[in-house]
Copies of this chain bind each other. A is one copy, B any other.
């Protein structure tokens, strides 16, 4: 059973894999190579993954057989596990918790050769919709407080399999970064009686120097204090706390702007590795007037080094205004 351990000084939680610890000789090797050269995420290899939890498939096809367009399965090497009780205990001055949660993989297409940006808008919308459905289902488990949706694209961004996929990790606590965002946006609301994210959208639409794209429902911007070159955020123009509601509120427009943004990044930066993280409200909170969901896209172009690790600051060598201009200028279809 994995363990959640709390840093006693700053309260940061860490997931410690207690059962199958990586030994010194394991580092440096490639992670989880395809068994016998078979990609477990390709159509026809459904029996090499855990059974499917959700799939969008052609009518008349059976679960765990070909015919799917998007398929969700449990991660074969989960960071957190569904089984077991959630118990908190002490260990001298330290605090820990059983590693209860869930870890799922959204296989975005049966086609091994495509990336998310290569899919049609409709297919991207189905990937985004599958994430919504999984959040709504995981919400039923009272042990789970948050579902973090994220994507690692490319080895340098942490992807261990090439076949394009998104992941969900459901956690028994609200992650630190989300708590910081909740806390910060709440303080702002108390002072201004306005949502900080709504204010950001207003300023960026007026200023336009950091604007990458927008449509009727969404905006893509380089954030003012971008940590990384070409870091890009996508936000709904209307105030919404819960990402999963987008399923019935303009999901095609979200798919469109996400696909366009990724395609702009691909052209400008020669298909870089990247991460996407979805920041939505905690499962237990209804709509909050101060918190506004958003996606953060982070191309992996620079190394995070000692200064960043020691300070929590970042050094960004590309001003977001310049990055936005580059992204706007490239031609995409």
Q: Which residues of A contact B (CB under 8 A)?
A: 5-18, 21-24, 27-28, 79, 91-94, 148, 150-152, 155-159, 167, 169, 171, 175-178, 180-181, 183-185, 188, 196-197, 199-200, 203, 207, 223-227, 229-230, 268-270, 272, 275-279, 296, 298, 301-307, 309-320, 322, 326
Contacts and interface: CB of A to CB of B under 8 A. Distances in A.
A306 B277 contact: yes
Contact of A15 (B10, B177, B277, B315): B315
A330 to B, nearest CB: 9
A7 B175 contact: no
A23 to B, nearest CB: 7
B148 A317 contact: no
Contact of A307 (B9, B21, B150, B307): B150
A270 B28 contact: yes
B9 A196 contact: yes
21 contacts: A11-B184, A12-B312, A13-B225, A14-B227, A15-B314, A15-B316, A16-B316, A18-B319, A21-B317, A23-B318, A24-B270, A91-B224, A92-B203, A93-B196, A150-B309, A151-B306, A152-B305, A158-B303, A176-B311, A275-B310, A296-B309
B176 A313 contact: yes
A271 to B, nearest CB: 11
Contacts of A309: 150, 275, 277, 296, 298
A179 to B, nearest CB: 8
A24 to B, nearest CB: 5
Stoichiometry, copies per complex = 2
Contacts of A188: 8-9
- Residue of A10, A207, A225, A275 with most partner-chain B CB within 10 A: A225
Counting from the closest, the 9 A-B pairs by CB-CB distance are A158-B305, A277-B310, A150-B306, A175-B311, A176-B312, A177-B312, A275-B306, A5-B225, A158-B303
A148 B310 contact: yes
Nearest to A294: B9
Given A148-B310, A298-B309, 18 more contacts: A8-B200, A9-B181, A9-B188, A13-B225, A22-B229, A23-B326, A24-B268, A24-B269, A27-B229, A27-B269, A27-B272, A150-B305, A175-B313, A176-B313, A177-B312, A275-B309, A277-B309, A296-B310
